[in-house]
Amino acid sequence: MKNVESYVMSIPDFPEPGIIFRDITTVIQDPDGLKLAIDGIVDLLKDVSFDVVVGPESRGFIFGVPVAYAMNKGFVPVRKKGKLPRETVEMSYDLEYGQATIEMHKDSIKPGQKVVIVDDLMATGGTLEAIIKLVEQLGGEVVDICCLIELAGLNGRDKLKGYPVHSLIRYEGK
């Protein structure tokens, strides 16, 4: 049986020379690859006590919703600014070139709730750090962060010190 990493397609020199793009569409379009990815994340969380899964758009939805379903938990979406219809809280963070702002509904996390964040990729850690701040602003406690892929060369864990971080696949480069 193949492992989940064998379903990831590596594209050299995309989007620019010297970068290896890790394409997860080859994981999710294959039934076995998708099952391995979801089951792998569920396995990482099997001993974690938590109340709700939080995931950023759009690929955090792809992995977070089935994990929440498999573990009988709710799912809270984190969206780009202006995409949620009710009262929100927001957090801005730095990108490589510029800034981004994400939002959650103000009533999505209850004080004291234990939260797991699920996403497809941890690169610099900026998005995950912003999500942690939103969860904590609403009174939640982040008890685990799970990603399908970690690009260790970008040092994302440095922004997430003090939080348990797990990844199914770890690439040493960028």
State the catalytic residues.
59, 96
**CB crowding 56-88: b at 16 or more within 10 Å, else e:** beebbbbbbbbbbeeeebebbbbbeeeebeeeb
> For residue 87, how many C-alpha atoms fall within 13 Å in the half-sphere facing its CB?
4
The answer to whether the CB of 70 falls within 8 A of the CB of 38 is yes
- How many Å apart are CA 15 and CA 147, to the nearest integer? 22
Which H helix or E strand runs over 27? helix 25-28
What are 146's strand-pairing partners? 118, 166
- How many Å apart are CA 116 and CA 47, to the nearest integer? 12
- How many Å apart are CA 57 and CA 94, to the nearest integer? 17
